[in-house]
Amino acid sequence: MVRNQYELEFVVELPPLSLMVYTIEVIPRKQNLEAHAIVYCKKCHRHSSFITKNMLTGDIQLENHVLKLLIDGNSGLLRSITQKKTNKVTHCGLEFSAYTSAQFHSGAYLFMPEPNTRDSEREILDDIPNHKIVITSGPVSSQLIVLYGNLLVHTITIYHVSGPLSQGIYIENIVDFDIPPKNRETELFMRFNSDLMNGEPPEFYTDLNGLSMQRRVKVERINIEGNYFPITTSAFIQDPDLYIN
């Protein structure tokens, strides 16, 4: 938390292609306390404007009236999603890893892992043991933020409102590779490990500039770099019982 800096969330419905002006007014501190967020963290500074509570040990749950998320209490990363209406649990373990890219052969528009490395992937977050987890819970949204040093700020948000906004999980990653040579030749990626069975060879779908969805099939003989595709707006995998977008 930074003193004298605040984030204000409110929900409005706007007609298509419209603009609206809203006025923010200062009110006495003791009014509308129910609109203030509760902050959960470990060893964080108290703030007079918010209720601050210590985080309990163990795994973390974020939930609204539609979804319940189970988050690993050590890493701060997603483990599973429960649909409250059906009580169906989807295992969706999230993790971050990295490839070492081939020197002088990988860049902004070309992905080429180093072919001579013994391990094609490495757990890049294992090098940052002292990460910090902060949870904010308010009337509009609940949010979990994990800070892995200066490298990664990982945020998961769910909303306590009606409509489609409450049916999704919103993930944001801010990555800072620092000044070279630190993290040079590093290709960071986020992976979801699910119990979805999407065929053999696996099938997945990516968008074409947001206009349509294209079926993709993993081709083993062309290695990792040949099975990566750009995503402009969306991608999904599915089986007869499950759909992850």
Express each pLDDT in 4-58 by its tens digit. Answer: 778 889 888 899 999 999 998 888 767 776 778 889 998 777 777 778 888 888 9
10-residue block means of pLDDT along the chain (245 residues)?
Answer: 77 90 83 79 78 89 96 95 93 91 72 75 83 93 94 96 92 89 83 90 92 92 86 91 86
pLDDT of residue 115: 77
Q: Say which CATH number the domain at 177 has.
A: 2.70.98.30
Strand partners, 119: none
pLDDT of residue 2: 63
Cα 53 to Cα 5, 41, 56, 107, distances in angstroms = 20, 7, 9, 44
Last residue of a domain, one of 195, 220, 236: 195
User: Do 174 and 54 belong together in one domain?
Assistant: yes
In a domain, 11, yes or no: no
In a domain, 22, yes or no: no
User: Do 96 and 163 belong together in one domain?
Assistant: yes
User: Do 189 and 73 belong together in one domain?
Assistant: yes
Host domain of residue 56: 34-195
In a domain, 73, yes or no: yes
pLDDT of residue 69: 97
In a domain, 13, yes or no: no
User: Do 63 and 99 belong together in one domain?
Assistant: yes
pLDDT of residue 135: 95
In a domain, 233, yes or no: yes
Last residue of a domain, one of 171, 195, 219: 195
Q: Quote helix, strand, coil % in the chain, to nearest 5.
A: 5, 40, 55
Strand 152-159 and strand 203-207: the pairing is unpaired
Angle at 37 between CA 32 and CA 42, to 5 degrees: 145
User: Do 65 and 126 belong together in one domain?
Assistant: yes
pLDDT of residue 126: 84
pTM check: above 0.85: yes
In a domain, 9, yes or no: no
pLDDT of residue 105: 67
pLDDT of residue 179: 78
Last residue of a domain, one of 159, 179, 195: 195
In a domain, 153, yes or no: yes
* Domains identified in the chain, total number: 2
User: Do 88 and 205 belong together in one domain?
Assistant: no
User: Do 47 and 162 belong together in one domain?
Assistant: yes
User: Do 128 and 140 belong together in one domain?
Assistant: yes
In a domain, 10, yes or no: no
Cβ–Cβ under 8 Å, residues 152 and 96: yes
User: Do 219 and 99 belong together in one domain?
Assistant: no
pLDDT of residue 225: 84
pLDDT of residue 170: 96
User: Do 60 and 173 belong together in one domain?
Assistant: yes
User: Do 128 and 233 belong together in one domain?
Assistant: no
User: Do 144 and 185 belong together in one domain?
Assistant: yes
